[in-house]
């Protein structure tokens, strides 16, 4: 059952700047730099059966994202890993979604970030499937997003930075208002990029195709699914994909720590089947994260 309470009014513990604090006490000031200038980075990760999947990779990426934005996280990767485990235990969670976030504080106000400190918090909560399971089993319907992924020379596209998700929120809202589940985003060139919070995959003639992540995140789940496909002997092709090619693709699914492996049956004018390869890779991923097959 989904907790109906807002996220600032819940029971539990959040790790904040080196210590566990009560959930409702994890506060920041209204003049925090991150609130005004989007100077924050974050991770989304899941725990299964008490183990946080790809924890080190997520902590390393948080450090990388912060560095791209010119922030220095005052905790090592090992310290972040330990903090994530502490948060999971403190909240008595076994299966959970986790949100580490780093941001510039309220020491400085203005576009300049000089003198602003870097703060870190980690929260965890019980969060089931990202999309409604009954709908996802049949495949989601994607609208075409009204915004495009920016060029690498216009934004820090390889950082998991909060500011880059503004257009994702707008695209998702636009899609839902039109009766869709999510949106497919193109990049600044008009090539296929990703969904609003997940990487995209396609199947054609038994091969797995996915766009080259040169202006969006090369997702940890994306890399995991590619490895799983290769282990099954599936040809994996990472290249530029143009919209007109989608007519020839048989299957589509999206991947992410929150979305996991989610089937797509429609993206704009293009239709897809929920086929055997998509189902097999979804099962393989579920088996992997739940410890039923060896970690990649």
For 27, other C-beta atoms within 10 Å of its C-beta total 10
Residues annotated as catalytic (active site), given as ranges? 160
Residues of each domain in the chain carrying CATH 3.20.10.10: 133-289
Does 296 score more than 60 pLDDT?
A: no
Does 263 score more than 70 pLDDT?
A: yes
**Whole-number pLDDT of residue 32:** 95
**Whole-number pLDDT of residue 295:** 67
Does 1 score more than 70 pLDDT?
A: no
pLDDT tier at 132, thresholds 50, 70, 90:
confident
**What mean pLDDT value characterizes the chain?**
96
For 81, other C-beta atoms within 10 Å of its C-beta total 17
**Whole-number pLDDT of residue 189:** 98
**Whole-number pLDDT of residue 269:** 98
Pick the CATH number of 13-125 from 3.40.1110.10, 3.30.1450.10, 3.30.470.10, 3.30.70.790: 3.30.470.10
Q: Tell which residue, 22, 25, 42, has the closest CA to residue 34.
A: 42
The span from the CA of 135 to the CA of 110, in Å, is 44
Could you read off the pLDDT of 151-196 as tens digits, one per residue?
Answer: 999 999 999 999 999 999 999 999 999 999 999 999 999 999 999 9
Torsion of CA 227, 293, 250, 275, to 10 degrees: 180
Does 294 score more than 80 pLDDT?
A: no
Does 25 score more than 90 pLDDT?
A: yes
263 DSSP β-pair partners? 253
Read off the tokens for 138: 């049949």
Pick the CATH number of 133-289 from 3.40.640.10, 3.20.10.10, 3.30.70.3040, 3.30.1520.10: 3.20.10.10
Does 270 score more than 80 pLDDT?
A: yes
Classify the C-alpha dihedral 144-190-45-154 as positive or negative.
negative
Does 10 score more than 70 pLDDT?
A: yes
Residues of each domain in the chain carrying CATH 3.30.470.10: 13-125
**Whole-number pLDDT of residue 34:** 96
Task: Please tell me the pTM assigned to this model.
Answer: 0.95
Element (H, E) at 86: helix 77-90
pLDDT over 70 percentage in the chain: 99
Does 18 score more than 70 pLDDT?
A: yes
Could you read off the pLDDT of 82-110 as tens digits, one per residue?
Answer: 999 999 999 999 999 999 999 999 998 88
Q: Across residues 132-150, what is the average pLDDT?
A: 94
């Amino acid at each position: 059952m989904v907790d109906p309470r807002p996220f600032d009014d819940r029971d539990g513990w959040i790790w904040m700047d080196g210590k566990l604090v009560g959930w409702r006490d994890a506060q920041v000031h209204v003049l925090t730099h991150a609130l005004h200038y989007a100077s924050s980075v974050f991770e989304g990760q899941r725990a299964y059966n008490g183990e946080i999947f790809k924890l080190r990779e997520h902590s390393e990426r948080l450090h990388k994202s912060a560095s791209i934005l010119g922030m220095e996280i005052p905790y090592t990767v090992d310290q972040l890993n330990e903090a994530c485990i502490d948060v999971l235990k403190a909240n008595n969670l076994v299966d959970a979604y986790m949100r580490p976030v780093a941001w510039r504080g309220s020491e400085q106000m203005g576009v300049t970030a000089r003198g602003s400190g870097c703060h870190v918090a980690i929260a965890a909560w019980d969060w089931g499937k990202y999309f409604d399971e009954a709908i996802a089993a049949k495949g989601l319907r994607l609208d075409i997003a009204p915004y495009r992924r920016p060029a690498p020379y216009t934004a820090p596209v390889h950082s998991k930075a909060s500011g880059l998700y503004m257009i994702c929120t707008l695209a998702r809202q636009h899609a839902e208002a039109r009766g869709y589940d999510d949106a497919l985003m193109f990049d600044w060139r008009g090539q296929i990029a990703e969904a609003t919070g997940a990487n995209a995959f396609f199947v054609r003639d038994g091969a797995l195709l996915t766009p080259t992540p040169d202006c969006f995140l090369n997702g940890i789940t994306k890399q995991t699914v590619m490895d799983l496909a290769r282990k099954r002997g599936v040809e994996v092709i990472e290249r530029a994909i143009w919209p007109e090619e989608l007519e020839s693709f048989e299957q589509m699914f999206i991947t992410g720590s929150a979305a996991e492996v989610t089937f797509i049956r429609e993206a704009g004018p293009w239709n897809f089947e929920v086929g055997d390869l998509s189902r097999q890779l979804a099962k393989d991923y579920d088996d992997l994260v739940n410890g039923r097959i060896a970690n990649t």
